[in-house]
Chain A
């Protein structure tokens, strides 16, 4: 075996074993025919575009659409569901924050974006407002069956989030970890909704969910905010409540509620062994945990801060436990990996001369 073939076969290990058993030999044949003339002395390697094409193929096979092996189909559905749920959360929160920006502007008579036009403060505020609208648009376009548009909008929304952070330079590690809360659903969107995946086609009502949920959420958060600003504040109560009201705290709450519903209805559900939802939630538990870790406080000095730190740790433990239980439930429900053919594919006819017709 030549050095190049050996290296290409290593690249092909990115593909699932069952797919390799079916395709590896002909892929190697096609690749090597296209690389004729190279010898080991040239220290040849598969070029990056070739490696990228195999990586993309691997992703499409592993996160399969209709017609894929049951295990890959389950993974594909789970990743796509993780994208939809994660983006629904961001769109809902964005709707609530956008309404807050509008309400603040209307009640104070000041522009929603502070600072002089084109100043750093103005640019950052504009990016934030634009980001809110983008997240809402991402969810809407995705569930209405336009995943390609959703991907472009999602990448723009991520830029609007990470752009200001990149300008801040070092010391933004926590913010970057917190940003995974946004990045993971976008990654799931990009990876899961590939060409072979069926685009979701939901009703306009589903697309409007962020607004339908975001308006009452905004009312609730505004009411809580007003209570928090009152002269007589019950710090004992607020130290318990406050850790649930930030974006990551709300994500934590939403995750725990979704997990409780998922685990609670599984024994009764007719398709109770469908691994997609528990697997999707298990995937989403990772950014939720990391986002809460970014807010962990170790130097709490007063009783209120100590309570908040304790609630934060409690949230982390709860999400971690839920994530582990969901992973176990999903692992038990996942179909077995597809079995490679009993014998590797072998040519059925004898060798033909190199000058074969057609091709």
Chain B
């Protein structure tokens, strides 16, 4: 799973969001490091929708413009959980090795 896909799924965990809402949430989640461009966002959404990890929740008009809200599916939540566990395990391994290195256990 790519980082933008991971962040988009994470952005949809607590509530359905529309395009710009996802962009804002991803920026917040990554401390401003990831600024999704609109073309990139919709490429990610297309892929996640094709894999049935997100679905269209509803449509609204906002000052005459179309907002489509997307929500996380159950399989999306499972995929995110699995990816989060994998990343957490990687982080744990890295931290463990760094701890040993600082302690002089590994050169």
Contacts and interface: CB of A to CB of B under 8 A. Distances in A.
To the question of whether A and B form a pair in one complex, the answer is yes
B103 interface: no
B39 interface: yes
B15 A29 contact: no
A56 interface: yes
B58 A28 contact: no
A37 interface: no
B63 A348 contact: no
Interface residues of B, number: 34
A28 B69 CA distance: 14
Interface in B1-33: 2, 15-25
Nearest to A11: B39
A352 B60 contact: yes
A55 B39 CA distance: 8
Contacts of B63: 351, 354
Contact of B20 (A23, A49, A57, A359): A359
A359 B69 CA distance: 9
B47 A195 contact: yes
B61 A57 contact: no
Contacts of B75: none
A80 B68 CA distance: 33
A120 interface: no
A52 B39 CA distance: 8
Given A349-B58, A349-B61, A26 B68 contact: yes
Contact of B37 (A49, A58, A350, A356): A49
A219 to B, nearest CB: 46
Interface string A39-73: 00000000001101111111011000001000000
B21 A358 contact: yes
A359 B14 CA distance: 11
B102 interface: no
Contacts of A29: 18-20, 62, 65-67
A27 B67 CA distance: 9
A264 interface: no
Contact of B61 (A53, A58, A67, A352): A352
B42 A354 contact: no
B62 A356 contact: yes
A358 B60 CA distance: 12
A349 to B, nearest CB: 6
B58 A358 contact: no
A267 interface: no
B41 interface: yes
Contacts of A34: 20, 23, 38
Interface string A324-359: 000000000000000000000111111110101111
B64 interface: yes
A31 interface: yes
A56 B40 contact: yes
Contacts of B24: 359
A57 B60 contact: no
B15 A359 contact: yes
A282 to B, nearest CB: 28
Nearest to B64: A351
A347 B37 contact: no
Contacts of B81: none
Given A358-B15, A359-B15, 11 more contacts: A26-B66, A27-B39, A29-B65, A29-B67, A34-B20, A50-B39, A195-B47, A351-B63, A356-B67, A358-B17, A359-B69
Interface of B: 2, 15-25, 37-43, 46-47, 50, 58-69
30 contacts: A26-B67, A26-B68, A27-B38, A28-B65, A29-B66, A29-B67, A34-B38, A49-B37, A52-B39, A57-B39, A57-B40, A57-B42, A67-B50, A195-B47, A347-B60, A347-B66, A347-B67, A349-B60, A349-B61, A350-B61, A351-B64, A356-B62, A356-B67, A358-B15, A358-B21, A359-B15, A359-B20, A359-B24, A359-B25, A359-B67
Closest 8 CB pairs of A and B: A359-B21, A53-B39, A30-B19, A53-B37, A347-B61, A358-B15, A29-B65, A33-B20
